[in-house]
Amino acid sequence: MTPNATDRMTALLKTRPEPGMTLESVPVPEPGPGDVRIRVESVGIDGGAEALIHDWHESKRHYADELPQLFGHEFAGTIDATGSDVDGVAAGERVAVEPVVGCGRCRCCRSGSSSICPDRRILGLDPEIDGALAEYAVVPREALYPIGSLSADEGVFLELLGLAVHGIERSSFEPGDSVAITGPGAVGIGALVAAVAGGASSITVVGTEADRRDRLPLARELGATRAVTVEDAAEGTEDVDVFVEASGHPEALSLASSATRRGGEIVQIGIFHGAETVPVDLTRLVRRGVSVTTVYGRRDSSWRRAIAIAEGVDLSPALGPAFPLADYEAAFEATRQRKGVKITLHP
Ligand SMILES: [Zn+2]
């Protein structure tokens, strides 16, 4: 049932500068001009964002002066109401959301790269824009991507798959190329799915000892020809055409530097949290003609391709577990224990 302006909803708020979040009753947000309101069906927990904010990791304490705040930036649901000046979408339509909204005017935005807009806003992470750890969220119309009959959890995964697709489409990858991927998290698994869909001849997925029991078997299930720990990767991982680094570990970039073929390409997607500078043997890369392409966020074509891929692939092994919003503590604990690839909450 569509709520009235006076109705209230349950939201999972970060209220205090200490570990934890709390369920609160807050007003249902009203969509302004150009906005839509979404009944949130699934919202992902990002291990590098919401999970660290919940645990009050020192890297997230800059939010202290902004509390209380409603986070949640990977989400999907059904349009519930539209504000004025919104066309092309209607209530009842199921959508996923691009959380990075560019200014629309700068050179980056005008060339289709709003993900690197210097004035970009991030829904559910920037203090001035509420996120989706709640029953309803209001977002700008331009952030929406219709997902048709895909599930809400698949809609959440599209944000990660889209980033991986962006990495593949920005690279010189062509069908028949060999691919290696470091970091079998949501983006690395997304890169695997994208490389399979793109017709890679072989795909090596490289993880750590912690991935041996779950994420490496999952990678094999989703089409990896080889899934190994980094200790085992050095041997047999060589002359790779396109090496997707999605872990953000310096050791993985080092492996990429030695395993990418002459004239090949390293696609750097992983963020090196806590390491401002990362050693890389650039002279060796120059002498061997290996290029390094960095990728951040998605562009419009990434969404289009990610949706097309998701419609043709069974992503269910990479989805969940899912928890009701009220069981958020269990969901954050599952994230801590690395259960599943993309844990979601269902408000
Ligand atoms: Zn811009």
CA of 108 relative to ligand 1 center, distance in Å: 6
* 31-44 tens-digit pLDDT: 999 999 999 999 99
* 148-195 tens-digit pLDDT: 999 999 999 999 999 999 999 999 999 999 999 999 999 999 999 999
Q: Is the pLDDT of residue 22 over 60?
A: yes
Cα 67 from Cα 131, distance rounded (Å): 13
Q: Is the pLDDT of residue 131 over 80?
A: yes
CA of 105 relative to ligand 1 center, distance in Å: 5
CA of 331 relative to ligand 1 center, distance in Å: 35
Cα 168 from Cα 173, distance rounded (Å): 6
CA of 189 relative to ligand 1 center, distance in Å: 29
CA of 37 relative to ligand 1 center, distance in Å: 24
Q: Is the pLDDT of residue 1 over 60?
A: no
pLDDT at 234: 78
pLDDT at 274: 77
Q: Is the pLDDT of residue 302 over 90?
A: yes
Q: Is the pLDDT of residue 4 over 70?
A: no
pLDDT at 38: 98
At 5, the pLDDT band (50, 70, 90 cuts) reads low
Q: What is the mean pLDDT of residues 193-205?
A: 97
Cα 274 from Cα 45, distance rounded (Å): 20
The overall average pLDDT reported for the chain is 95
Q: Is the pLDDT of residue 329 over 80?
A: yes
How many contiguous H segments (helices) and E segments (strands) does the chain have? 10, 17
CA of 300 relative to ligand 1 center, distance in Å: 14
CA of 142 relative to ligand 1 center, distance in Å: 13
* 266-298 tens-digit pLDDT: 999 999 987 778 999 999 999 999 999 999 999
CA of 92 relative to ligand 1 center, distance in Å: 30
CA of 119 relative to ligand 1 center, distance in Å: 6
Q: Is the pLDDT of residue 2 over 70?
A: no
Cα-based distances in Å from 233 to 51, 134, 254, 289 = 30, 42, 12, 22
* 58-70 tens-digit pLDDT: 989 999 999 999 9
Left, alpha or beta for 26 (phi > 0: left; psi -120 to 50: alpha)? beta
| Amino acid making up residue 37 | R
CA of 110 relative to ligand 1 center, distance in Å: 7
pLDDT at 273: 81
Helix 186-197, helix 152-170: angle, nearest 10: 70
Could you tell me which residues come within 8 angstroms of residue 324 by beta carbon, excluding any fewer than 6 positions away? Answer: 345, 346
CA of 192 relative to ligand 1 center, distance in Å: 30
Please identify which residue in the block is written with the tokens 């269910």. 316
Cα 41 from Cα 53, distance rounded (Å): 21
Q: What is the mean pLDDT of residues 94-110?
A: 96
* 222-233 tens-digit pLDDT: 999 999 999 998
Q: What is the mean pLDDT of residues 67-92?
A: 96
